[in-house]
Structure 1
Amino acid sequence: MTLSAGKLWGMRRMADANGRFKMTAVDQRPPIKKPIAAKRGLAEAPWEDVAGFKAMLIEELQAQSSALLLDPHFALPAGVHRLSPTKGLIVTLEDSIFRETEGGRLSSEIDHWSVEKIKRVGGDAVKVLAWYRPDADPAVNRHQQDFTKRIGEACARYDIPFLFELLVYPLARDAHQTKDYVEMQGKRADDVLRSVEAFAGADYGIDVFKLESPVEAASVPGVGGEGWEETQRLFDEMGRLAGRPWVMLSAGAGKEAFRRILTHAYRAGASGYLAGRAIWADAFEAFPDWDAIRSGLRADSVPYMDALNRLTDEAALPWFDHPLHGGSTRVSPPDHRFRFDYPGFDGVA
């Protein structure tokens, strides 16, 4: 497949030299703000605390990362100067405050933030999370689809990769209710798979999927574990439906559970991971003892990432070897016509 110049460069920047994604998420907002506010005994977490933790994550975990995912509220302004220019910069666009309706959740962009601004600050990719349930109200699903398509079109216009994350969530009729950014209890594999299928069309402009396990994390046996073949079948189907390079998210899974998930994902053709809490949540529990947090990241998170990276090197599919790209990625057109045909932001060459 021929890639546009900006998307090709962004994909290469996100991955390591061998085309595998080892990406660390530092863009979480509620999962970091809520614990800090609770420990401080405040209604709202102080900006300095949230930003300080994110800056520490950048400092301590970037050596093991091919790219880091930052948010414009805290991580970008507080930590981008700490980020090595050899690392890829992914920037989040979705607002962490979604709108809950009777028919389902509605996503939106962060106010005063856009694909254009992410491109202007030097971002290598745009990340967006959309909550989705195939059985939600049709009007809600149309909103989520239009939201995604609008961002995909902007990413095409500004020639920057679109990294798209999907999470299923509880509807009002479900037994397990939560608004936290955690894996939905009692989720059905069919909901996860149908969600991926819903956004696999080329009109959404997605370059990389960031996907959750189709099976609850605690129930994933890992390749070779008891009953692993049925779980593998679901991961294989998810990879087939994605139809493009994809990575795994951790969704708050524990360290060992996430490692088991990756064994299935890599066997199914995933190209790496984009994870946060599985990597740093244990160290974060020491807040507000900053020295203990840093020690925990160095003693626990870094060795864990080293282990994930060895697994990724051994088993993940380089993104450019995905059947969509077929091992050959070139800009278009790949000859002397390039400067004449390459369009500006207005679409005019």
Structure 2
Amino acid sequence: MTLSPGKQWSMRRMADANGIFKMTAVDQRPPIKGPIAAHLGVETAPWEEVARFKALLVETLQDQSTAMLLDPHYAIPKAIDTLSPAKGLIVTLEDSLFTETPDGRLSSNIDDWSVEKIKRMGGDAVKVLAWYRPDAGESVCAAQQDYVKKIGEDCARYDIPFLFELLVYPLAADAHQTTDYIEMKGKKADDVLASVEEFAKPDYGVDVFKLESPVNAKDADGSAEVQAVFDEMGRLAGRPWVMLSAGAGKAEFRNVLDHAFAAGASGFLAGRAIWLEAFQAYPDWDKIRSALETDASAYLADISALADAKAAPWSSHSCYGPERAAFQPADASFRHGYAGFGE
């Protein structure tokens, strides 16, 4: 793999000086909107309440984060003025609402939102979550693959990194069927690994994988058997990758990170493992702030220290060859070969 100049610069901005990603997700929508709406007894959570919580996350957690993941609905309009320009900015593209069919889930972009707009507003990366089951209906798998390919092509055109998140999910016929944004109970490692293998193909243009644990988080027990599954996931990814928390508890996610870093992960992009406990104090904003400034910040510091000790620098990944992720071409020919958006 060769990194284009724009992608290389943005990858550097999202990581620390040692090439480790310590990124906090603030783009969650259903996991925040749902509890607020339920507490208030309304069908739809008020925009101001959701946005207020997201702004508080940016305010309290950005200092310990190398980058933050924001959504265009709430976090960007409410909190972008709070976010330090020294931090990496990752922006969500996919809609949190998906189409549920008997053969599987279909993803789509947020309405009136695009890779081009994310680039134009100064984003450092485009983040997309695609639900995927390799054993879903053939037409669903094909549609999801086409969806991801188009985003990869757009990211290449606008020279912005494509940060791709994969989540397996229960099909309609599975036990534990749910549409909640939580780790699938009883998920099969083979489904996770086969999904990573598919989207690691060059056709999709993925620059960084945001991956879930290939085993249930509670089963990340430090054993050699579990480590072998993480090792295989890292091998199949074939490029820098980070871990997502998928709503796992603090202790469970830390164990997942131990396995992931041993398998070559370059950090994390996590949300609920960091801030969910604080959010449970809603609507007591003083308690939420206090919990974010203490427990959540302490946990973020803990997993960041773990990443410092054990994660692999993204720029040293073998996918970039012996030169690693160095700027290319490092000579006066650069400006002649570097194409504009319309070329």
Per-residue deviation, residues 101-147 of structure 1 (Å, max 9, x unmatched):
01100000101000000001100000000000000001100000000
Which TM-score applies when normalising by structure 1?
0.97
Q: After the TM superposition, which residues 132-211 of structure 1 pair with which residues of structure 2 at under 5 Å, given as runs? A: 132-211=132-211
Question: Quick check: 1:339 aligned with 2:304?
Answer: no
Question: Quick check: 1:260 aligned with 2:268?
Answer: no
- Distance in 2, matches of 1:310 and 1:332, equals 32
Q: State the one-letter code of the partner of 1:339.
A: R
Per-residue deviation, residues 14-52 of structure 1 (Å, max 9, x unmatched):
111110000000000000000000111111000000000
CA drift at 1:219: 1.5
Partner of 2:279: 284
Partner of 1:275: 270
Partner of 2:129: 129
Q: State the one-letter code of the partner of 1:274.
A: L
- Distance in 2, matches of 1:53 and 1:258, equals 23
Residue 122 of structure 1 aligns to a residue whose secondary structure is coil
Partner of 1:27: 27
- Distance in 1, matches of 2:325 and 2:248, equals 34
- Distance in 2, matches of 1:332 and 1:262, equals 32
Two-structure CA RMSD over aligned residues (Å): 0.8
Partner of 1:323: 318
CA drift at 1:64: 0.7
8 Å CA contact 1:104, 1:140 repeated in 2: yes
Partner of 1:304: 299
8 Å CA contact 1:50, 1:74 repeated in 2: yes
- Distance in 2, matches of 1:288 and 1:340, equals 56
CA drift at 1:299: 1.4
Q: State the one-letter code of the partner of 2:282.
A: F
Q: Which residue of 223, 229, 237 corresponds with 1:234? A: 229
CA drift at 1:328: 2.6
Residue 252 of structure 1 aligns to a residue whose secondary structure is coil
CA drift at 1:329: 2.0
- Distance in 1, matches of 2:87 and 2:77, equals 17
Give the unaligned 5+ runs of structure 2: none
8 Å CA contact 1:130, 1:166 repeated in 2: yes
Q: After the TM superposition, which residues 45-194 of structure 1 pair with which residues of structure 2 at under 5 Å, given as runs? A: 45-194=45-194
Q: After the TM superposition, which residues 1-16 of structure 1 pair with which residues of structure 2 at under 5 Å, given as runs? A: 1-16=1-16
- Distance in 2, matches of 1:330 and 1:312, equals 22
Identity %: 67
Length, aligned pairs only: 342
- Distance in 1, matches of 2:302 and 2:70, equals 23
- Distance in 2, matches of 1:248 and 1:78, equals 27
CA drift at 1:218: 1.2
- Distance in 1, matches of 2:254 and 2:118, equals 31
- Distance in 2, matches of 1:254 and 1:332, equals 42
8 Å CA contact 2:316, 2:325 repeated in 1: no
- Distance in 1, matches of 2:288 and 2:208, equals 32
8 Å CA contact 2:128, 2:165 repeated in 1: yes
Moved more, 330-339 or 233-242: 330-339
Q: State the one-letter code of the partner of 2:118.
A: I
- Distance in 1, matches of 2:272 and 2:187, equals 20
Q: State the one-letter code of the partner of 1:188.
A: K
- Distance in 2, matches of 1:30 and 1:5, equals 35
8 Å CA contact 1:2, 1:331 repeated in 2: no
Which TM-score applies when normalising by structure 2?
0.99
Residue 320 of structure 2 aligns to a residue whose secondary structure is coil
CA drift at 1:172: 1.3
- Distance in 1, matches of 2:328 and 2:318, equals 19
Give the unaligned 5+ runs of structure 1: none
Partner of 1:313: 308
Q: State the one-letter code of the partner of 2:299.
A: Y
8 Å CA contact 1:320, 1:328 repeated in 2: yes
- Distance in 1, matches of 2:158 and 2:94, equals 17
